[in-house]
Amino acid sequence: ESAESQARFDNKIDADGKIEPQDWMPDAYRKTLVRQISQHAHSEIVGMLPEGNWISRAPSLKRKAILIAKVQDEGGHGLYLYSAAETLGTSRDQMLEGLHSGKAKYSSIFNYPTLNWADMGVVGWLVDGAAIMNQIPLCRCSYGPYARAMIRVCKEESFHQRQGYEALLVMMQGTAEQKAMVQDAVNRWWWKCLAMFGPPDADSPHSAQAMRWGIKRISNDDLRQKFVDATVPQAKVLGVTLPDPDLKWNEERQHHDYGQIDWDEFWSTVNGNGPCNKERLATRVKAHNDGQWVRNAALAYSRKQQTQATK
């Protein structure tokens, strides 16, 4: 029975079919998906914080409306992703416990501070830009609920990327001070965005198996390269310099070469010691605790409905 189930699963993966929640799947496949999808969900929710900080300080009504919509979208992405992970047999409470206790990971990128308004543009352009590059291939991932969630998420991320880039285009037509703010924000975020794609393929423990299972379709390094190649011409149009003296077109490879990423700094941030890890986690835990009364009220209401229905 189990060998037969395994064979059916393998055939489906080989034929590029979708695995659905009711299908048999190996425990390790389920575990990998719970890990990745819950980390992804946590990233969306924690990712609301660096930009949420700027909603009350947006420079115009238009920018404020756009930023509120974007931050709200990230919350929505977190909710679809928690739901997708729940189809694998884990509970929302379990996942949140992992996040709030500091056991679960979320994207390194959200542990850096957003220091000025230009950071809002750069987060949209580069952070959402990197997120889309990584998420487009996930629309073809072998697990049905995750793949389907990614389609809508990517459409929304595309709006996020464009709003960021457009905000920067406007600032770059402004004063010398505004242009300097944009360049400063690009300098601070560029390398962190390259690290977002995860460790180099050779040091990525999960990649080979995730590729075999059709969860990962493009490797960490290949996505990073695609991101660099896509971003260079955008930086040119914008009129900013990407802070890497080694960044240059390689005619032979038909790709841009780029410099060394600081992986020690990346791992230190992933392991809890980045500039904002403690602040982000504390803010998240406080928001969860402050919302306890809402969950209590919803439960009390649902119980009341049930007792009324049985009368």
Sites of contact with ligand FAQ (CB under 6 A): 35-36, 39-40, 43-44, 47, 74, 105, 107-108, 123, 127-128, 131, 134, 196-199, 204-207, 210, 216, 220, 270
What b/e sequence results for 278-288 when a residue is b if at least 16 CB atoms lie within 10 Å of its CB, and e otherwise?
A: eebbebbeeee
Please, which residue, 44 or 119, has the CB nearer to ligand FAQ? 44
Q: Are strands 248-250 and 255-257 parallel, antiparallel or unpaired?
A: antiparallel
- Residue whose tokens read 């695609």: 226
Q: How far is CA 264 from CA 32, 243, 269, 271, 292, in A?
A: 25, 19, 9, 10, 38
Residue 309: is it exposed, middle or buried by C-beta count within 10 angstroms (0-12/13-18/19+)?
exposed
The overall longest dimension of the chain from CA atoms, in Å, is 77
Rounded least distance, CB 38 to ligand FAQ, Å: 9
Nearest-CB residue to ligand FAQ? 47
DSSP character at residue 63: H
Please, which residue, 180 or 208, has the CB nearer to ligand FAQ? 208
Please, which residue, 39 or 90, has the CB nearer to ligand FAQ? 39
Please, which residue, 221 or 241, has the CB nearer to ligand FAQ? 221
Rounded least distance, CB 118 to ligand FAQ, Å: 15
Rounded least distance, CB 240 to ligand FAQ, Å: 19
What is d(CA 17, CA 19) in angstroms, rounded to the nearest whole number?
A: 7
Rounded least distance, CB 22 to ligand FAQ, Å: 24
Tokens of 65: 């409306």
Single-letter residue type at 8: R
DSSP character at residue 112: S
Rounded least distance, CB 157 to ligand FAQ, Å: 6
Single-letter residue type at 161: Q
Please, which residue, 85 or 179, has the CB nearer to ligand FAQ? 85
Rounded least distance, CB 81 to ligand FAQ, Å: 9
Please, which residue, 198 or 214, has the CB nearer to ligand FAQ? 198
CB 74 within 8 A of CB 44: yes
E strand map for 146-294: 248-250, 255-257
Rounded least distance, CB 28 to ligand FAQ, Å: 13
Residue 256: left (phi > 0), alpha (psi -120 to 50), or beta?
Answer: beta
Please, which residue, 12 or 51, has the CB nearer to ligand FAQ? 51
What is d(CA 13, CA 141) in angstroms, rounded to the nearest whole number?
A: 10
Please, which residue, 24 or 267, has the CB nearer to ligand FAQ? 267
Rounded least distance, CB 7 to ligand FAQ, Å: 25
